[in-house]
Amino acid sequence: MLDGSLLVQMLIGALLGLSVYLPLAAGQLSLATPGFMTVGGYVAALLSTRVAALGGAEPLYPLPSLLLELLLAAVVALALALLVGLPVLRLRGIYLAIATIALNEILRVVLLNNSWTGGAVGIFAIPQPFGDPLGYLAALAVLLLLAGATCQAIARHPLGRAMAAVRDDELAASCTGIDSFRIKLLAFAASAVLAALTGVLAAHFFNTWNARQGSFDASITTLAFVVFGGSRHWLGPVLGGLVLTALPELLRPVGDLRLVVFGAVILLGPLLFPQGVVTPALLQRLLP
């Protein structure tokens, strides 16, 4: 039933869900998670296919090279997030949502029109650091645990309260001593880095990478993870990513209706379940 490959995709979904959750926890909608994942994937794809020295002699791609890719992807994503966030996050309101759409589109256009990144077909034959899905599962699980533990630590820290305060009322937060610009920028940058790290592992796993990974559909899908799971606790988007990634695979007959279902989740979720499936009240009952 649940094969290794599906589990890998579910973990990727959970990580992307967390990436959307982080800025949302500070009241900012970023639709650029797939865009940053695309960037991370390209860093991995380009380094591993174009830089021979990273390949090594073994049939499996060396792990130190993979770590180097992760590091570099994080740096590139961080730089890009600052470039977008610095002008945009000084503004209050909905500008980040619009700017991240713009970022996705610029990335897509540039990647499609650049022969160096393989144009529309993208990059093929990305080498494998792991022999089977189990290795990817382990790597993604480590990343997810790290990200989850970080979110858990933030939630108990004044930073987590500051994020929630900015989400509830940015102006009141500012007047209560919170540097809301810094908080928003931090959340957005963390979101970008996490998506890029996920992209590195995803590019190796999928073996091929192209600009379609960052399409508008992908933005919708990742947003649905968070709306479904809830954005009041980090377990919400993790659950959302796991379940909604598995759902279309498990329910094959849904087929063409996949995006209609996701659209309906995004449309009706905030109306019927404003806090998503995983609510603080639920968690209090489960984990006293």
Binding site for another protein (CB under 8 A): 24, 27, 29, 84, 87-88, 90-95, 97-99, 101-103, 105-106, 109-110, 112-113, 156-158, 161-162, 164-165, 167-169, 171-181, 216, 220, 223, 227, 232, 256-257, 259-260, 262-271, 274
Residue where the block lists tokens 């990144």: 117
- CA-CA distance, 55 to 29, in Å (whole number)? 38
- Rounded CA-CA distance 39/36 in Å is 5
Phi-psi region of 56 (alpha: psi -120 to 50; beta: other; left: phi over 0): left
The smaller minimum CB distance to another protein, of residues 176 and 207, is found at: 176
User: What is the per-residue burial (b if ≥16 Cβ within 10 Å, else e) of 121-131?
Assistant: ebbeebbbbbe
Provide, rounded to whole angstroms, the least separation between the CB of residue 258 and another protein: 8
- Nearer Cβ to another protein (143/162): 162
Owner of token pair 């498990």: 250
Closest distance of CB 104 from another protein, Å? 8
Q: Which of residues 197 and 244 has its CB atom nearest to another protein in the complex? A: 244
Among all chains, which residue has been given the structure tokens 């034959």?
125
Smallest distance, another protein to C-beta of residue 270, A = 5
* Shortest distance, position 9 Cβ to another protein, whole Å: 21
For the bound state, the minimum distance from the C-beta of residue 257 to another protein, rounded and expressed in Å, comes to 7
Q: For tokens 């989850």, name the residue.
A: 148
Nearest distance from C-beta of residue 221 to another protein, angstroms: 10
- Closer residue to another protein in complex, CB, 130/188: 188
Of residues 109 and 121, the one with the C-beta less far from another protein = 109
CA within 13 Å, CB half, 279: 9
Distance CA 245, CA 124 (A): 24
The least CB distance from residue 141 to another protein, in Å, is: 29
Exposed/middle/buried for residue 50 (C-beta within 10 Å: 0-12, 13-18, 19+): exposed
Tell me whether residue 88 is exposed, middle or buried, using C-beta atoms within 10 angstroms of its C-beta: 0 to 12, 13 to 18, 19 or more: buried
Q: Which is nearer to another protein, 30 or 65 (CB)?
A: 30
Given the complex with another protein, which of 101 and 283 has the nearer CB atom?
101
Residue 8 or 76: the one with the smaller Cβ distance to another protein is 76
Minimum distance of another protein from residue 210's CB (angstroms): 15
Burial label, 77 (beta-carbon count in 10 A; 0-12, 13-18, 19+)? buried
Task: Identify whether the C-beta of residue 15 lies closer than 8 Å to the C-beta of residue 194.
Answer: yes
Kind plus residue range of the DSSP H or E element containing 51: none
